Amino acid sequence: MRELATLDRSPTLRRSASVLLVLLVASLALLIAPSPARAATGPCVADAATGCINGTIRTSAGQPAVGVSLTVEGGGTTVTVTTDAEGKWTAPVTAAGDYTVTLDPATLPAGETLRNPSGNPRTVTVTLGSSSGALFPLGEPAASGGGGTGPSPTASAGAGETDGETGAPTGSSTEGGFSWSRLAQQTVSGIVFGILLALASVGLSLIYGTTGLSNFAHGEQVTLGAILAYIGVQTFGLPLLVSGLLAVIAGAASGWIQDAGIWHPLRRRRVGTTQQMIVTIGLSMALQYTYQFFFGASALRIVTANPDIVTIGTVRISVTSIWSVIIASAVLGAVAYFLLATRIGRATRAVSDNPALAAASGITVERVIRLVWTLGGALAALGGVLMGLYLNATSWNMGGALLLLMFSAVTLGGLGAPFGALVGSIVIGLVVELSNLVLPSDMRYAGALLILILVLLLRPQGLLGRAERIG
């Protein structure tokens, strides 16, 4: 049973702000603790004027190969670097182009040989603002010269799911250790990512609040927005703004159609929320493979031109990201205003709180739910467009990969509390980006998932939710 709660949520905003501040400080404090293994010797940081070439060399037993010497030639310059105590080496370059990296076998640890002698020297292409890697695996020389790493087959039997990273966001460096400039960079990335995530999560939270349904197909609403923007820009040649707008309108329409065609009839038939949740799982599958059916499995770039980078202090951020944050914040502000100050918005919060009581007060619950689905679809589509621009690419499973992050954000903030979704999203965004400083980049989503589990363990109602009887 849900308790009656007041409809006045302005204290909530204040609470949200202070909670956000506390969490921001806390997460920064947590992640500031430098792990000794990453004592920085001035690793290369990719920015607007610098590109990096780097790598890690391990012996055939997996230990770091220390003191190996490599020479980087190109663009009229020659740089010699040596691997440090962890086998890592970095070489900054100031011009984009091709560079030749040569490893000096005489400096290898005793008994080690290159596994692929024909792969030395290697040619690496570098652009400013990004890092490129060169790999020199050590071990028994292989008979057939493969590439640097072994073949990495994607699963073909059954549907394989590639990891959700569809592209590295601009300005996010994944190698190198800790430094204040990196911290600032990752924090800004985290906030940007979090605000964009919030666009998608608010809809999820509202849908759960008003109908009790955990919508596992919400990720596909996000993908829909990104893919429609891609079609608009790349296939029809429309300006980005127009494509984005059309994508949002289509997202709203898809939300409306879903509720009218699927969820409203199911609610009328009194189908339980668990059954509905499994229906959303089926819908998610069907939609994901429909996207893949029409657009293939590879990444799609909405905008092919490289983004313009702006440097603020030590932080690099693309102009697109700045605009995205402005648009997203404005929209979120509008949603907040809607929920707090308009009649329909208050009605939405009432239904979210206690549908029976709301209906008894004369609110047409079904109309509110229809509105919530439409609004949720529009917000998710917008989130998809902006997220697709931020991540430099979209693909059929972009939303699916983000889904768990959205659930983490919504659960952290409190299932059913839309402002909680905002707070939770920013925290999750920060965790994902800041964890780059301490975790290998392919595990950064794991940090967010761990938070999800911890929240459910310790405080299932989240930060801003009410403590209902859970279970």
Partner 1 sequence: MDWSRIFTNVAGEIFAPTTAAYALGAIGLNIHFGLTGLLNMGQAGFMLLGAYGFAIATIAGWPLYAAVLVAMAAAAVFALILGIPTLKLRGDYLAIVTIAAAEIVRLVGRSTALTEITGASSGLRGNEYKHTFTGASPFPDTVWSLGPFSYATNASNSWWIRIVAWVVVGLACLLVYLLIKSPWGRVLKGIREDEDAVRSLGKNVYSYKMQSLILGGVIGAVAGIIYVLPRAVQPDSMGRPMTFFIWTILLLGGAATVFGPVLGSIIFWAGLMLIKTVMRDGVPETIMRNEQIEQFGWIIVGVTLMLLVIFRPQGILGDKKELAINVR
25-29, long-range: CB < 8 A, 24+ apart: 27/427, 27/430, 27/431, 27/434, 28/183, 28/187, 28/434
Q: Minimal distance in Å, beta carbon 456 to partner 1? A: 6
**Pick from 3, 104, 161, 308: which binds partner 1 (CB under 8 A)?**
161
Element (H or E) spanning 379, and its range?
helix 365-390
Whole-angstrom distance, CA of residue 99 vs CA of residue 387: 32
Measured from the CB atom, is 242 or 297 closer to partner 1? 297
In angstroms, give the least distance from the CB of 261 to partner 1.
Answer: 12
**Interacting span for partner 1 (CB under 8 A) from 193-201, 223-231, 264-272, 339-347:** 264-272
Q: Binding segment for partner 1 among 77-85, 97-105, 269-277, 367-375 (CB under 8 A)?
A: 269-277
By CB under 8 A, which span of 36-44, 127-135, 149-157, 418-426 interacts with partner 1?
149-157
Q: How far is CA 268 from the centre of its chain?
A: 36
**The two structure tokens encoding residue 130:** 């990004």
Instruction: Give the shortest CB-324-to-partner 1 separation in angstroms.
Output: 26
Q: How far apart are CA 274 and CA 271, in angstroms?
A: 8
Answer whether 279's CB lies under 8 Å from 214's CB. no
Given 3-state DSSP classes, what are the helix, strand and coil percentages for the chain, each rounded to the nearest 5?
A: 55, 10, 35
- As a whole number of angstroms, the distance between CA 341 and CA 358 comes to 17
Q: Which residues, 28 to 67, sit near partner 1 by CB under 8 A?
A: 62
214 binds partner 1 (CB under 8 A): yes
Stretch that binds partner 1, among 236-244, 318-326, 345-353, 450-458 (CB under 8 A): 450-458
Of the pair 426, 448, the CB lying nearest partner 1 is at 448
Note whether 254 binds partner 1 by CB under 8 A. no
312 binds partner 1 (CB under 8 A): no
Q: Is 71 near partner 1 (CB under 8 A)?
A: no
The backbone torsions φ and ψ at residue 51, rounded to the nearest 5 degrees and listed phi first, read -115, 160
DSSP helix/strand/coil, 127: coil
Residue among 5, 23, 352, 326 nearest 208 (CA):
352
Say what the alpha-carbon torsion angle 87, 88, 93, 99 is, to the nearest 10 degrees: 50
Q: How many CB atoms lie within 10 A of CB 69?
A: 16
394 binds partner 1 (CB under 8 A): no
Q: Between residues 178 and 396, which has the closer beta carbon with respect to partner 1?
A: 396
User: Does residue 460 interact with partner 1 by CB under 8 A?
Assistant: yes
One DSSP character per residue, 210-275 reads: HH----TTHHHHHHHHHHHHHIIIIIS---HHHHHHHHHHHHHHHHHHHIIIIIHHHHHTT--HHH
Give me the residue label for tokens 């994902």. 432
Q: Please enumerate in sequence order all residues whose Cβ is within 8 A of that of 225, keeping only pairs 6 or more positions apart, or say none.
A: 247, 248, 250, 251, 380, 381, 382, 383, 384, 385, 388
For position 272 contacting partner 1 by CB under 8 A, the verdict is yes
Task: By CB under 8 A, name the one of 67, 141, 160, 239 that touches partner 1.
Answer: 160
Among positions 24, 340, 359, 456, the unique one binding partner 1 when judged by CB under 8 A: 456
Binding mask 407-446 for partner 1 (x = CB under 8 A): xx--x----------------------------x-xx-xx
Q: Closest CB to partner 1 among 49 and 450?
A: 450
Q: Closest separation between CB of residue 334 and partner 1, Å?
A: 29
**Site membership for partner 1, residue 285 (CB under 8 A):** yes
Cβ 326 to partner 1 shortest distance, Å: 32
Residue 404 makes contact with partner 1 by CB under 8 A? yes
Q: Which parts of this chain interact with partner 1 (CB under 8 A)? A: 62, 149-155, 157-163, 214, 266, 271-275, 277-279, 281-290, 292-293, 296-297, 400, 404, 407-408, 411, 440, 442-443, 445-446, 449-450, 452-453, 456-457, 460, 470-471
